[in-house]
Amino acid sequence: MQTPVPDYLKHVLSQCQRNVGGQLADYIPELAQADPNKLALALSTADGMIYSSGDDGHEFTIQSMSKPFAYALVLEQLGIEEVLQKVGVEPSGEAFNQISLDKELNIPKNPMINSGAITTHSLIQTTAGISRAEQLRRFLSELAGRELSFDEQVYTSEMKTAFRNLSIGYMLRTVGALDTDPVEIVNGYIQQCAIKVTVKDLANIARVLANGGLHPKTGECLLDRAVVRQVLSVMLSCGMYDAAGDWLTTVGIPAKSGVSGGIIGVLPGQVGIAVFSPRVDEHGNSVRGIDIFERLSADMGLHLMEGTPSAQTIIQSCYWAGKNDDVRVYELRGVLQFTESEMLLRNLQEEPPGDTTIVLDLTNLTLIHDVGARMLFEGVERLQQDGHRVVVVDSEGILSEAQMKGNKRVVVKEKLTKYLEKFQ
């Protein structure tokens, strides 16, 4: 059998094709030359599968979809606190290219609007001889899994008419939000916007955020978890500019649009999505792109506020083992976060005080959140206080060093069956 996902994506595109609302952005002359009929969609799963449909090989410029990743890069380089001194996180409720600042703090309201993105660009740390835009191109190439390049024509075209961004640059320099040459920074920012991508690149880039910053195949940490959370939060509240409220209620996933006609969306823990269709609305957001996301969200239940109920099955099985049937084994499965940990502890509460050995087997867990690890070890300590000997079997190494801290002596790394042989 063949998975129906590609057919579904094709179907969504055909449904949205007839929507010819919106216009090509023409304040960047080169974008007005785009083929308005191009249409593409890609979906990249957290475990590394990519599906795509339509004009999925067509390259276009990343434009404002570069902003969350420039933000991620500087958060990694400087830390969240330092960046917050320079760029806020409040939705502006204004157009993306508004010449405005937070009135009290005199800094741009958020990194998704141009004033915030230009400031963010200035914060990119580089080594000698490498421009900020080049630094970002390398970073995005790493996330995309292929070498990306600049579109010189779009860059030159935008520079010719960059009066508004230059005004923003001068304004930022005047109030001290920029401390370097505003023309150089705006130039670099416009180059950043001219990095060429396909929907597949964008879905793969977005997928790194969906996957908590980890490379889906190698498990390498490309972005710190706290950085991912910060970026996704800002995308959710500010990514669609002055249409963010509409987006949040109808689609409900962190997203970022670009005036070239792309939109990326990230469903944490699940997928990175990217669409492309060049006609945009008055907010600079792709008209068909919104249509596609609304359908995907409704059909696939992507809205964040729908919440995912806990699987309610943290204990896969519970039995007695050992020669004398005096070893109590709890095999756990699923994800251990607050709800499941609470459920586990409630079950362990039923263990009467005594000197039985209690084995908690983590082999079939797929993820342990920090709160899950804390609650697990709190339970271990309380069982020990009741007189039990407690062992945590972590044969797959799911617990991080930090999560195990102070509790290593109760963790064994061998397979459950091997460990239980001791009691035969």
Q: Annotated binding site for substrate: which residue ranges? A: 64, 114, 158, 165, 189, 241, 259
Scanning 176-315, the segments in alpha helix (DSSP H) are: 182-193, 199-210, 225-238, 244-250, 287-300
CB closer to ligand DON out of 189 and 419: 189
Burial class, 386, CB count within 10 angstroms (exposed 0-12 / middle 13-18 / buried 19+):
middle
> How is residue 188 annotated by DSSP?
H
Q: Which residues contact 418 (CB under 8 A, 6 or more apart)?
A: none
Please check whether residue 332 is in contact with residue 344, taking contact to mean a CB–CB distance below 8 angstroms: yes
Q: Is 257 in the site for ligand DON (CB under 6 A)?
A: yes
Q: What is the tally of helices (H) and strands (E) in the chain?
A: 16, 12
> How is residue 184 annotated by DSSP?
H
Per CB under 6 A, which of residues 175..234 are in contact with ligand DON?
Answer: 190, 193
64 is catalytic: yes
CB closer to ligand DON out of 46 and 133: 133
Catalytic-role residue among 259, 266, 287, 327: 259
Angle at 205 between CA 200 and CA 211, to 5 degrees: 120
Q: How far apart are CA 74 and CA 99, in angstroms?
A: 23
Region binding ligand DON by CB under 6 A among candidate stretches 200-208, 216-224, 253-261, 302-310: 253-261
- Kindly report the three-state secondary structure assignment for every residue of 122-172: HHCCCCCCCCHHHHHHHHHHHHHCCCCCECHHHHHHHHHCCHHHHHHHHHH
Write phi, then psi, for 390 (nearest 5 degrees): -120, 135
Catalytic-role residue among 51, 71, 155, 189: 189
259 is catalytic: yes
Catalytic-role residue among 51, 241, 330, 419: 241
Which position among 110, 114, 187, 356 is part of the footprint of ligand DON (CB under 6 A)?
A: 114
Residue 396's SS3 state is coil
Region binding ligand DON by CB under 6 A among candidate stretches 9-17, 41-49, 254-262, 320-328: 254-262
189 is catalytic: yes
Burial class, 69, CB count within 10 angstroms (exposed 0-12 / middle 13-18 / buried 19+):
buried
Q: Is 259 in the site for ligand DON (CB under 6 A)?
A: yes
CB closer to ligand DON out of 285 and 341: 285
* Least Å from the CB of residue 221 to ligand DON: 29
Which position among 92, 165, 204, 230 is part of the footprint of ligand DON (CB under 6 A)?
A: 165
Q: Is 119 in the site for ligand DON (CB under 6 A)?
A: no
Region binding ligand DON by CB under 6 A among candidate stretches 203-211, 212-220, 256-264, 378-386: 256-264
CB closer to ligand DON out of 70 and 302: 70
CB closer to ligand DON out of 121 and 328: 121
CB closer to ligand DON out of 94 and 386: 94
Q: Is 97 in the site for ligand DON (CB under 6 A)?
A: yes
Residue 397's SS3 state is coil
> Which among 260, 308, 222 has a CA at the least distance from the CA of 22?
260
Neighbouring-strand partners of residue 256: 264
Which position among 284, 289, 372, 379 is part of the footprint of ligand DON (CB under 6 A)?
A: 284
Q: Is 96 in the site for ligand DON (CB under 6 A)?
A: yes
71 is catalytic: no
Which position among 44, 63, 187, 277 is part of the footprint of ligand DON (CB under 6 A)?
A: 63
Please check whether residue 135 is in contact with residue 258, taking contact to mean a CB–CB distance below 8 angstroms: no
> Which among 283, 199, 274 has a CA at the least distance from the CA of 238?
283
CB closer to ligand DON out of 193 and 251: 193
Q: Is 258 in the site for ligand DON (CB under 6 A)?
A: yes
Catalytic-role residue among 53, 64, 157, 286: 64
Kindly list the distances between the CA atom of residue 141 and the CA atoms of 111, 146, 276, 361, 415, in Å, as whole numbers in the listed order. Answer: 21, 5, 19, 40, 39
Catalytic-role residue among 52, 53, 67, 71: 67
The binding site consists of: 64, 114, 158, 165, 189, 241, 259
27 is catalytic: no
Residues serving a catalytic function are: 64, 67, 189, 241, 259
**Chain residues that interact with ligand DON, rule: CB under 6 A:** 63-64, 96-97, 114, 158, 165, 190, 193, 257-259, 284-285
